[in-house]
C-alpha cells in the first residue's frame, strides 16, 4: 500500500487527471528554467556585449556537461524514492534520498573547489576565443561556487517528484527565477546599493539565488513535514549506504550518458551545419531555440509517467502500468502536436523576433522547421516508453537504442549523404533518427524483459531499523503497510 495519501498518491484514482496534475507543474517549471536562462542572456548581452554573451555560453557548456551525469543519478534516486513510496516504505525513500544528498554534498563541494582551480584549463580545452577568455573565467569560477546548492536543489526537487509532489519544485523554481533574473541587472551594473561586478555579477546572482532557494526549500520541507525530511536517527541516512550507492551509480550512469549522447550529437550536427554558411547556421540556431520549448511537454509527461510508474511498481499495481503509458503517449501526441502546429502556422512572426523581419535566414529557418519539427512527435512517444521501462530500473536498453538512432540513424545518415544530396539531408536526419528510436523503443517495451523485479528489490532491509519503521507508521504521510 502506498505511503502517501491525497494528491501525491499516484497509485490510485483516474490516470489521466493524475498524470496531468503532475505533468503541468513540471512543464511550467521547465518553461521557467528556460526563460530564466533567456532573460539572463538578454541582461548580459544588452549590458556587456557579444563577447560577454559568448563567454557565458562557453562556461555554461562546461556546467551542462557536469549536470548531465548529475541528472542521471538524480533520476535513479527519483525512481528509488517512487518505488519505496509505492511499496509503503517511507524509511527506504528517506534512506535513498539521504544517501544521495550526503554523497553529492561532499562531491559537489570538492568539484566546486577543483573547478575554481582548473577553470582556465577547461576554457582552453573548449577553444574559447582569446577575447572571451577573461570574461568566461570570471563567470565560470563563480558558477562553480554555486554548484553545491545547484546539485542539492535538483536532488531535492527530484526526490519530491518521486513522492508525487510536483507543486513544491515549481514553487522553488519560481523563487529561483525571481531572485536570479531580478539580481542580474543590479549586480552587473551596480544599481543602487549593489556593487558593479560586470559578468561576475550575473554568476553571483545565480549563486545567491541557488543558496537562498536551497535554504527556503529545506525550511519549507520541514515546516510542512513532507515525507522526505529526516529527523532523529534518520540523519545517519546521510552517510553512504554502499548498497544504495551501487544501485544509484549502476542505474544513474547510463541515464547521465544519454544526456551526453544528445550533447555530442548536437556538437557534431552544428559542425556539419557550420559548413553551409552564416545564414544557415543562424537559422538552425533559432530553430534549436524553438525546439527547446517544443520538447518540454514530452519531458514533463515523461517525468510524470516515470513517477507514476515507479510508485505503482512499488505498490505491485502492474495492472496500471499499461494504461499509464497509453495515457502518457496520447497526452504527448496531443500537447506536442498542438505546439508544433501553432509553431508552423505562426512561424514567420516568431522567427522575426530572433532574426529581424528582413533577414534572409527566415526562409531557411521556416524550411528547417517544416521538415524537422514533426520529428518531436515520435521523439515524445519514445520518451514516454523510456520513462516507463526506466521506472523499473531498465536503463541500458534505452541507452543502446539512443546510441543507434543518434549515431547511425541521424549522424551517420547525414554525414554519408550530405556531400551528394546537400544540406536538406541534415534536416531529414531528425525525423529518421526519431522514427528509428520509436520503432526500437516500441519493440523493447512490447517484448523486452524490463518487467523483471525492480530497483527496490533487496534495498528495504527487512527487519532492520524496526524502530524507524514503527515510528514512520504513526507520522503524517508515514509508512502505512510495511513490506515484508
Pair (292, 400) in one structural domain:
yes
Q: What is d(CA 377, CA 291) in angstroms, rounded to the nearest whole number?
A: 12
Helices (H), 49-128: 50-86, 90-125
d(CA 464, CA 484): 11
Q: Is the pLDDT of residue 287 over 70?
A: yes
Ranked by mean pLDDT, which of 46-50, 84-88, 210-214 comes out on top? Answer: 210-214
Q: Same domain, yes or no, for 164 and 272?
A: no
Q: What is the pLDDT of residue 4?
A: 53
> What is the structure's pLDDT at 331?
94
DSSP tag of 232? G
Instruction: Give yes or no for residue 473 having a pLDDT over 50.
Output: no
Query: What domain range is 440 assigned to?
Result: 251-457
Compute the average pLDDT of residues 376-380. Answer: 94
Mean of pLDDT over the chain: 83
Domain closes at, from 184, 214, 240: 240
Residues 327 and 308 reside in one and the same domain: yes
Is 280 found in the same domain as 201?
Answer: no
pLDDT tens per residue, range 141-164: 898 899 899 989 988 998 898 888
Is 296 found in the same domain as 187? Answer: no
Identify whether residues 302 and 358 lie together within a single domain: yes
pLDDT of 483 reads 31
Distances, alpha carbon 129 to alpha carbons 134, 144, 410, 419, in Å? 10, 20, 30, 30
Q: pLDDT tens digit string along 163-178?
A: 888 899 999 999 999 9
Question: Is 2 within the bounds of a domain?
Answer: no
User: Percent of the chain beyond pLDDT 90?
Assistant: 29
Average pLDDT over residues 78-97: 88
In a domain, 469, yes or no: no
Residue 351 belongs to a domain: yes
**Where does residue 231 fall: left (phi above 0), alpha (psi -120 to 50 degrees), or beta otherwise?**
beta
Final residue before a domain boundary, out of 240, 269, 293? 240
391 lies in the same domain as 308: yes
Q: How many CA within 13 A on the CB side of residue 324?
A: 33
Closest CA to 285 of 270, 296, 300: 270
289 and 378 together in one domain: yes
**Do 297 and 426 have their domain in common?**
yes
Count of domains forming the chain: 2
Q: What is the rounded CA–CA span in Å between residue 457 and residue 162?
A: 17
Taking 80 as the threshold, does the pLDDT of residue 326 lie above it? Answer: yes
What predicted TM-score, i.e. pTM, was given to this entire model? 0.81
Lowest mean pLDDT among 56-70, 277-291, 340-354: 56-70
Q: Specify whether 214 is located in the same domain as 267.
A: no
Among 178, 210, 240, residue at a domain's last position: 240
Is 346 domain-assigned? yes
Per-residue pLDDT band at 51 (split at 50, 70, 90): low
User: 389 lies in a domain?
Assistant: yes
Q: With 60 as the cut, is the pLDDT of residue 60 above it?
A: yes
Rg of the chain over CA atoms, in angstroms? 23
Is the same domain home to 143 and 216?
yes
Within this chain, do residues 228 and 282 fall inside the same structural domain, yes or no? no
Amino acid at each position: 500500500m502506498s505511503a502517501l495519501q491525497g494528491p501525491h498518491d499516484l497509485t490510485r484514482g483516474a490516470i489521466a487527471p493524475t498524470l496531468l496534475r503532475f505533468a503541468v507543474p513540471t512543464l511550467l517549471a521547465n518553461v521557467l528554467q528556460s526563460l530564466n536562462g533567456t532573460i539572463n542572456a538578454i541582461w548580459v548581452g544588452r549590458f556587456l556585449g557579444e563577447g560577454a554573451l559568448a563567454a557565458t555560453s562557453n562556461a555554461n557548456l562546461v556546467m551542462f556537461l557536469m549536470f548531465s551525469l548529475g541528472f542521471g543519478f538524480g533520476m535513479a534516486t527519483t525512481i528509488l524514492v517512487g518505488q519505496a513510496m509505492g511499496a509503503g516504505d517511507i524509511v527506504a525513500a528517506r534512506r535513498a534520498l539521504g544517501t544521495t544528498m550526503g554523497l553529492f554534498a561532499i562531491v559537489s563541494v570538492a568539484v566546486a573547489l577543483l573547478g575554481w582551480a582548473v577553470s582556465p584549463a577547461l576554457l582552453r580545452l573548449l577553444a574559447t576565443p582569446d577575447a572571451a577568455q577573461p570574461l568566461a573565467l570570471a563567470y565560470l569560477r563563480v558558477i562553480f561556487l554555486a554548484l553545491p546548492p545547484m546539485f542539492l536543489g535538483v536532488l531535492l526537487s527530484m526526490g519530491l517528484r518521486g513522492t508525487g509532489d510536483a507543486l513544491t519544485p515549481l514553487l522553488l523554481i519560481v523563487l529561483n527565477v525571481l531572485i536570479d533574473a531580478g539580481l542580474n541587472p543590479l549586480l552587473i551594473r551596480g544599481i543602487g546599493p549593489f556593487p558593479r561586478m560586470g559578468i561576475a555579477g550575473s554568476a553571483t546572482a545565480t549563486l545567491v539565488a541557488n543558496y537562498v532557494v536551497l535554504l527556503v526549500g529545506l525550511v519549507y520541507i520541514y515546516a510542512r513535514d513532507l515525507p522526505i525530511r529526516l529527523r532523529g536517527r534518520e540523519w545517519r541516512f546521510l552517510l553512504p549506504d554502499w548498497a544504495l550507492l551501487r544501485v544509484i551509480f549502476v542505474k544513474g550512469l547510463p541515464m547521465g550518458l544519454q544526456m551526453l549522447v544528445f550533447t555530442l550529437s548536437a556538437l557534431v550536427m552544428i559542425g556539419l551545419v557550420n559548413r553551409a554558411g552564416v545564414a544557415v547556421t543562424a537559422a538552425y540556431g533559432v530553430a534549436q531555440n524553438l525546439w527547446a520549448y517544443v520538447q518540454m511537454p514530452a519531458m514533463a509527461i515523461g517525468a510524470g509517467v516515470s513517477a507514476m510508474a515507479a510508485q505503482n511498481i512499488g505498490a505491485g499495481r502492474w495492472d496500471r502500468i499499461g494504461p499509464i503509458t497509453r495515457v502518457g503517449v496520447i497526452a504527448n501526441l496531443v500537447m506536442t502536436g498542438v505546439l508544433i502546429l501553432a509553431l508552423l502556422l505562426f512561424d514567420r512572426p516568431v522567427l522575426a523576433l530572433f532574426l529581424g523581419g528582413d533577414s534572409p535566414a527566415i526562409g531557411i529557418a521556416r524550411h528547417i522547421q517544416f521538415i524537422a519539427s514533426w520529428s518531436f512527435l515520435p521523439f515524445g512517444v519514445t520518451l514516454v516508453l523510456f520513462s516507463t521501462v526506466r521506472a523499473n530500473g531498465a536503463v541500458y536498453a534505452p541507452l543502446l537504442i539512443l546510441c543507434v538512432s543518434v549515431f547511425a540513424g541521424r549522424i551517420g545518415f547525414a554525414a554519408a549523404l550530405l556531400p551528394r544530396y546537400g544540406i536538406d539531408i541534415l534536416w531529414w536526419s531528425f525525423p529518421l533518427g526519431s522514427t528509428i528510436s520509436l520503432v526500437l523503443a516500441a519493440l523493447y517495451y512490447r517484448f523486452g524483459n524490463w518487467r523483471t523485479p525492480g530497483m527496490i528489490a533487496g534495498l528495504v532491509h527487512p527487519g532492520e531499523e524496526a524502530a524507524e519503521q514503527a515510528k514512520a507508521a504513526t507520522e503524517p504521510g508515514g509508512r502505512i503497510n510495511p513490506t515484508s
